[in-house]
Structure 1
Amino acid sequence: MDELTIPAMLRRAEHYSPDRPVVSREPDRSLHHTTWGEIGRRARRLSSALLGLGLTPGARVATLCWSHRQHLELYFAAPLAGLALHPLNPRLHVDDLAYIATHAGDEILVLDEGFLPIYEQIRDATPFRQVIVIGSATGDAIGYEDLLAGGDPDWQPGPIDEHSTALVGFTSGTTGRPKGVEVSHRAVALHGLSTALQGWLGISDTDVLLPVVPMYHALAWGWPYTAALLGAEIVLPGPFLDPESLLELFDSERVTLTGGVPTIWMGVLRILDTNPARFDLSAMRAILSGGSTAPASMITGYGERHRLNLVHTWGMSELMMGTIAGLSADLHQAPHQEQLRHRLKQGRPMPFVEIRARSEDSGFAPWDGESMGELEIRGPWVATEYLDSPEASAEQWTDDGWFRTGDIVTIAPGGYIEIADRAKDVVKSGGEWISTPTLEGALMAHPAVAEAAVIGVGDERWGERPLAVVAFHPGSSATAEELREFMAPRMARWWLPERIEIVETLPKTAVGKFDKVALRRRFTAPIGAGS
């Protein structure tokens, strides 16, 4: 039955917002302008063309694409046809890509022409029976526009069960093999409605959204679907995710809401600090930062120097978005410093989402803003198991259905969570936890430091101690002792890292976070006794 489904979301865009723009940056950097009405017409025609390839309900359609208009059409076309779309992350290692496509049972691959070299490396290890190329197709591949032209322009979707799978996503695999998550039509619809509520993201048809988070990662936080549901304009940046290109789009398209990982916003802030009058961002009502903890210096830098509202969020591949650091009603009249203290946290759970923090003694941490525990979460768009992975599912979900996130948090009164660390990243020194995000934020507040990451290394006396890895701004420098002295007023002395390594740039993961696995491989020598 057609209830809370993606076809209903697209139908609303076509009926009520057919002329609202969809802007997409092309490979030659030009901008392509279309509308939600045209996206709907092409998506339905593409649905019929995909079914014409012999796909049956539930079949997986993989994509290897940047964020652009064709990918947006596929976001709707596959679910409209009762198929499941599976966006692949082109930045993953080819072995992981082959594993993911095989584990998901992907039958069709749609890819950008520029990713053909990646496909050639995984061709013999994947189950694809047909390849569709956006661009110039050769050999047995079909051109995307040729496939579309063969579709039925009058095709309409039939009834779809809102609980059926609409999309498939995989975790990044930083702690083992990537794990698959199935996302239902109902989950997408309820997530979109919740983000749209006033006091959360408050998205409306007057907004211009630009998801910097790619469409292959956490479903671009669900924004393509939310934009369709509400008739918001959407701007898709293609492969050009460098700060300069993004700022150009924010300015020219009058973007009101954007979101991405902190490493992106660090680069954008550096450009704004260098030449604050170059770009007009007066239309921007909020910049969302998620994926890892944003340094306090970055949040305050946007607000104090540029009057831009950078908002902390938290989510995972298993749930898209989970919390947003908006201010609750009781904080609207609070002093500025009190408001800032809450904005530096990851925020409150979105409507329908429940949270708790399990402490080491198997009880639950009180909501006092100080007691730590592992965050557990449940809600209508939180996954309930991994795809064909019963052992991994049993480890990650409790017997009563809560998802163990692996994040060590405190929960303050009112439900504000603050991530102290990832369970795998937390430094336990002498039996006490040390928060690596807190150390990283303190380091990045130093004017010479561009990037900083902290990992734990073995220590003969304390079991484990923090090791900091920093990269400086061009032309800037500082000694390890100067950095420690700068941090000292902000935390207990025993938290301070004895060892600080200087690098030109920090390694990043496939989704733009600091790659702590790579850092551990490089800096594994333990700190000796007596340190």
Structure 2
Amino acid sequence: MLGQMMNTPLTTTSIMHFAEKVYANSEIVSVTADNPNHRYTYADAFKRVRKLANALAKLGAKKGDCIATLAWNDYRHFELYYGISCSSMVCHTINPRLFPEQLQYIINHAEDQFLFIDVMFIPLLEKLAPSLTKVKGFIVLTTAEMMPKQTTLKNLHCYETLLANEADTFDWPAIDENDASALCYTSGTTGNPKGVLYSHRATILHTYATAMPDVFGISVRDVVLPIVPMFHVNGWGLVYTCPMIGAKLVMPGPKMGDGETLCKLINQEAVTVSAGVPTVWLALLNYLEQSQQQIPTLTRVVTGGAACPQPIFDNFREKHGVEVHQAWGMTEMSPLGTYNTLKPHMVNWSEPEKTKVRLKQGRPAYGVELKITDDHNNELPWDGKSSGAVKVRGPWVIQRYFKAEHDACDADGWFETGDVAVMDSEGYMNITDRTKDVIKSGGEWISSIELENCAMTHPQVLEAAVIGINHPKWTERPLLVVVAKPNQVIDKAGLLKWFDGKVASWWIPEACELVDELPHTATGKVSKKDLRVTFEGYVWPSV
């Protein structure tokens, strides 16, 4: 017997209609290249989205076409998210920080028909344009006054001019909830980047999950500053979650890494919740320390993309009264997998006890099935000791990469994430490494993440990374690579002694090297691949 409830399709169009009716007056505030303080409402935004949909139709864009964006977090990029997907096209957000050859590959592989780009990316596209075989035109996200006077790009349009004469009414097409809505490529740390094609259904279910109290827990009373780029895994879904629940959105534009701008936005707009990678929080905390400013309205921040060092937790909580919550996921998961909040019985624990929990990646959100397995694919217990490969499945987890011939998951539908973790009996996941970064010394595993977290608690260390280096006796040993805080001089021997009593003695790095800066990937993570290249052939001081 089947149930007799309505089978209303789950589409991003429904978010747009709902937000416009229920939360019409909620604001979106943006920093853009042509306006440092743009401000309008959801009603204004979706009125312009209808204009955009008409403009797309006139350009000749059709159902199923991939329409790409190279843009920062601002109101025009927000409009593109809805104008493209709700028109039954695919919104392909591209990371402009990728190498030019990766960008060329991605645009051609996706067969993007049009590119919507911020002004600053015009020189980049001018170099790539001759090799972009399918692109029919470029739309610059700016006003007529800010358009370039000269450019080699063909069929170039101004976004504001394109929208100006269009009607603000549009007959939105009926969309199957399983139709593709958005496309995002992995950063391609091995081989070419791979496309992850999201459906409307997966996106809506993911949006429901992110809004739950023990996940992002955002409400209409919140003011949200998404610092995580909108070109990175749907901006962690906040572009959908905030309109769905009516929260005010604050967009930092190209200033997402600038501590001063972030501080100003937080205080000017009374931001309560923010989300970004650890490097962003380091930039903000360093600015706050130097300027002696406070951020009284901010209550919590979400961090992900890389393991968050303990000093970030401590600094936010002790100096600013802000709680830090770790989240974990990946492009292939839309991206939400786990989120860290304390359970009721932990609230009265001592701060050191609570910190041990906070440093974990959190509990799976409902909708994500998660398990850890050994090398023979045997499922391991959640006992806080057994370490294994993390595998996931669920309605917003990838089944197959875009244009791939075979599924990305195994015969039972499990996708292997590439992470190695321990699960405890309370359901908290603690990632100990990436499969490709794990260090095996003398036949035993060493967690580079745990060593990095320990190093980051040293008062003179700004940033730290640990990689495995060949060793004549132990096969591999950990090498600690650190960046000192400004005006600090680090004693390498003293720093290695810092680990005494904090980790197993045989885990302590064999040596320490000081660098001016660590290499980062396009998404802000420390690039251990580049570090391994830098220290290839490294000779241990004591060998």
Distance in 1 (alpha carbons) for counterparts of 2:8 and 2:364: 28
Structure 1 residue 14: Cα displacement:
0.5
Distance in 1 (alpha carbons) for counterparts of 2:349 and 2:455: 28
AA at the equivalent of 1:245? T
Structure 1 residue 526: Cα displacement:
4.5
The structure 1 residue matched to 2:75, chosen from 69, 78, 100, is 69
AA at the equivalent of 1:351? Y
Match of 1:407 in 2: 419
Distance in 2 (alpha carbons) for counterparts of 1:329 and 1:380: 29
The structure 2 residue matched to 1:78, chosen from 84, 95, 114, is 84
The structure 1 residue matched to 2:23, chosen from 17, 20, 34, is 17
Match of 1:263 in 2: 279
Residue 490 of structure 1 aligns to a residue whose secondary structure is: coil
Match of 1:102 in 2: 108
The aligned runs of 1:357-506 (5 Å cut-off) are: 357-390=372-405, 393-394=407-408, 397-506=409-518
The structure 2 residue matched to 1:131, chosen from 111, 131, 138, is 138
Distance in 2 (alpha carbons) for counterparts of 1:488 and 1:527: 24
Residue 500 of structure 2 aligns to a residue whose secondary structure is: helix
Q: Residues 461 and 530 of structure 1 are in contact (CA less than 8 Å); yes or no, is this contact kept in structure 2?
A: no
Residue 468 of structure 2 aligns to a residue whose secondary structure is: strand
Match of 1:296 in 2: 310
- Are 1:168 and 2:194 counterparts? no
**Number of residue pairs matched by the alignment:** 526
Gaps of 5+ in 2: 1-6
Q: Residues 296 and 320 of structure 2 are in contact (CA less than 8 Å); yes or no, is this contact kept in structure 1?
A: no
Residue 113 of structure 2 aligns to a residue whose secondary structure is: strand
Residue 132 of structure 1 aligns to a residue whose secondary structure is: strand
Q: Residues 243 and 267 of structure 1 are in contact (CA less than 8 Å); yes or no, is this contact kept in structure 2?
A: yes
Q: Residues 462 and 484 of structure 2 are in contact (CA less than 8 Å); yes or no, is this contact kept in structure 1?
A: yes
Q: Residues 167 and 183 of structure 1 are in contact (CA less than 8 Å); yes or no, is this contact kept in structure 2?
A: yes
**After the TM superposition, which of the residue ranges 28-37 and 39-48 deviates more from structure 2?**
28-37
Match of 1:42 in 2: 48
Structure 1 residue 248: Cα displacement:
1.1
Structure 1 residue 480: Cα displacement:
1.6
Match of 1:287 in 2: 301
Scaled by the length of structure 1, the TM-score of the pair is: 0.96
The structure 1 residue matched to 2:37, chosen from 14, 31, 39, is 31
- Are 1:116 and 2:122 counterparts? yes
Q: Residues 440 and 477 of structure 2 are in contact (CA less than 8 Å); yes or no, is this contact kept in structure 1?
A: yes
- Are 1:514 and 2:519 counterparts? no
Distance in 2 (alpha carbons) for counterparts of 1:343 and 1:526: 35
Q: Residues 465 and 527 of structure 1 are in contact (CA less than 8 Å); yes or no, is this contact kept in structure 2?
A: no
Residue 209 of structure 1 aligns to a residue whose secondary structure is: strand
AA at the equivalent of 1:439? L
AA at the equivalent of 2:444? E
AA at the equivalent of 2:155? D
AA at the equivalent of 1:173? G
Distance in 1 (alpha carbons) for counterparts of 2:355 and 2:140: 48
Distance in 1 (alpha carbons) for counterparts of 2:255 and 2:441: 42
- % same residue: 38
Distance in 1 (alpha carbons) for counterparts of 2:184 and 2:24: 29
Match of 2:212 in 1: 197
Deviation string 1:310-368 (CA, Å, 9 cap, x unpaired) is 11111111111211101234434444443322111000011111100011232122101
Q: Residues 2 and 8 of structure 1 are in contact (CA less than 8 Å); yes or no, is this contact kept in structure 2?
A: no
CA root-mean-square deviation: 1.7
Q: Residues 47 and 151 of structure 1 are in contact (CA less than 8 Å); yes or no, is this contact kept in structure 2?
A: no
The structure 1 residue matched to 2:342, chosen from 323, 327, 346, is 327
Q: Residues 2 and 160 of structure 1 are in contact (CA less than 8 Å); yes or no, is this contact kept in structure 2?
A: no
AA at the equivalent of 1:35? T
Match of 2:322 in 1: 308
**After the TM superposition, which of the residue ranges 24-33 and 183-192 deviates more from structure 2?**
24-33
Residue 332 of structure 2 aligns to a residue whose secondary structure is: coil
Deviation string 1:229-258 (CA, Å, 9 cap, x unpaired) is 111110110000211211111111111111
Structure 1 residue 158: Cα displacement:
2.1
Residue 249 of structure 2 aligns to a residue whose secondary structure is: strand
The aligned runs of 1:346-365 (5 Å cut-off) are: 346-365=361-380
Residue 489 of structure 1 aligns to a residue whose secondary structure is: coil
Q: Kindly tell me: are residues 527 and 374 of structure 1, through their superposed partners in 2, closer, same or farther at Cα, counting changes over 3 Å? A: farther
Distance in 1 (alpha carbons) for counterparts of 2:267 and 2:171: 38
Q: Kindly tell me: are residues 30 and 529 of structure 1, through their superposed partners in 2, closer, same or farther at Cα, counting changes over 3 Å? A: closer
Structure 1 residue 55: Cα displacement:
1.9
Distance in 1 (alpha carbons) for counterparts of 2:426 and 2:241: 27
Q: Residues 421 and 433 of structure 2 are in contact (CA less than 8 Å); yes or no, is this contact kept in structure 1?
A: yes
Structure 1 residue 306: Cα displacement:
2.2
Distance in 1 (alpha carbons) for counterparts of 2:119 and 2:490: 45
Match of 2:4 in 1: none
Match of 1:317 in 2: 331
Q: Kindly tell me: are residues 162 and 529 of structure 1, through their superposed partners in 2, closer, same or farther at Cα, counting changes over 3 Å? A: same
